[in-house]
Amino acid sequence: MAPVLKKYKAAAVNAEPGWFDLQESVRRTIHWIDEAGKAGCKFIAFPELWIPGYPYWAWKVNYQESLPLLKRYRENSLPSDSDEMRQIRNAARANKIYVSLGYSEVDLASLYTTQVMISPSGDILNHRRKIRATHVERLVFGDGTGDTTESVIQTDIGRVGHLNCWENMNPFMKAYAASLGEQVHVAAWPLYPGKETLKYPDPFTNVAEANCDLVTPAYAIETGTFTLAPWQTITAEGIKLNTPPGKELEDPHIYNGHGRIFGPDGQNLVPHPDKDFEGLLFVDVSIYRNRIQANS
């Protein structure tokens, strides 16, 4: 293992996925990897289920109504051993960058909420599945296995880890990651509506602000990590693609503007993105700063 790089630039994706389209999803993934590479980044983090987008439609329908969209979703999910994944790995190698990628993994008869960590040489260093799908997600995804707790790996940019969605508020998974000496964390989030949509008895944890502005900085403080929170966004066209027949179209802005990056002390390090912002959030990571926080 090469000496750990003490300071470097990293990026969190705040952008729209290629809904229900595997090839478009791969194209967008490679585009953002290339953009991060051009900007001099050593690490880029993608949201939960970036490929082929988060199935938020599952929260709006019953099981029978979900079947047409579920069929398309499965057909455009990503096998881990595939030409599409090799294209993404090649992009990581071409840009000499670490990539944390979230995707819907199709494996035999099931789909999984999966994350991989790809090295600058294009190798997959870590493959994990969300340990338990959330609420209605269980109509779409299977559960992870015991090894899914292994979320942190040693790299030459520090001890880097990643978790999906509610896993970032799971006390055991958070404590275990901290026990492994995690220094840089990806809190990968999907597509969430804003707090203006909250209606009783839906809990506050089901809106974006709870997760981007409470859960994520709490993770950073409690573990002493640089915490990148990539989020998906959506346009009016994306809303149309994700709205089942007979359901009302929503304003896409209620879902956008939630990407965040926090320092080891919980300080917000980047301006909150505008509702129509699509791009990368950048941060300068300093591993030395982690040590100060961890020892305080």
pLDDT score of 33: 99
Q: Which residues of 122-134 are buried (b: 16+ CB within 10 A; e: fewer)?
A: bebebebbbbbbb
pLDDT score of 1: 60
pLDDT score of 246: 86
Token pair recorded at residue 197 = 């949509």
Residues 6+ apart with CB under 8 A from 167: 130, 131, 173
**Comparing C-alpha atoms, which of 197, 225, 47, 10 is closest to residue 130?**
47
Provide the CATH topology of domain 7-294.
Nitrilase/N-carbamoyl-D-aminoacid amidohydrolase (3.60.110)
From first to last of its 296 residues, what are the pLDDT tens digits of the chain? 667 898 999 999 999 999 999 999 999 999 999 999 999 999 999 999 999 999 999 998 888 899 999 999 999 999 999 999 999 999 999 999 999 999 999 999 999 999 999 999 999 999 999 999 999 999 999 999 888 899 999 999 999 999 999 999 999 999 999 999 999 999 999 999 999 998 888 899 889 999 999 999 999 999 999 999 999 999 999 999 999 888 899 999 999 999 999 999 999 999 999 999 999 999 999 987 665 554 43
Label residue 145 exposed, middle or buried (CB < 10 Å: 0-12, 13-18, 19+): exposed
Q: Is this model's pTM higher than 0.85 or not?
A: yes
Q: Supply the residues annotated as catalytic.
A: 48
pLDDT score of 296: 38
**Cα separation values, 236 from 190, 240, 253, 257, Å:** 17, 6, 9, 15
What angle, 0 to 180 degrees and rounded to 10, lies between the N-to-C axes of helices 83-95 and 22-38? 10
Token pair recorded at residue 284 = 């300068």
The Cα 246–Cα 230 span in angstroms is: 31
pLDDT score of 2: 67
pLDDT tens for residues 152-200? 999 999 999 999 999 999 999 999 999 999 999 999 999 999 999 988 8
Give the start-to-end residue ranges of the domains of the chain.
Answer: 7-294
pLDDT tens for residues 109-130? 999 999 999 999 999 999 999 9
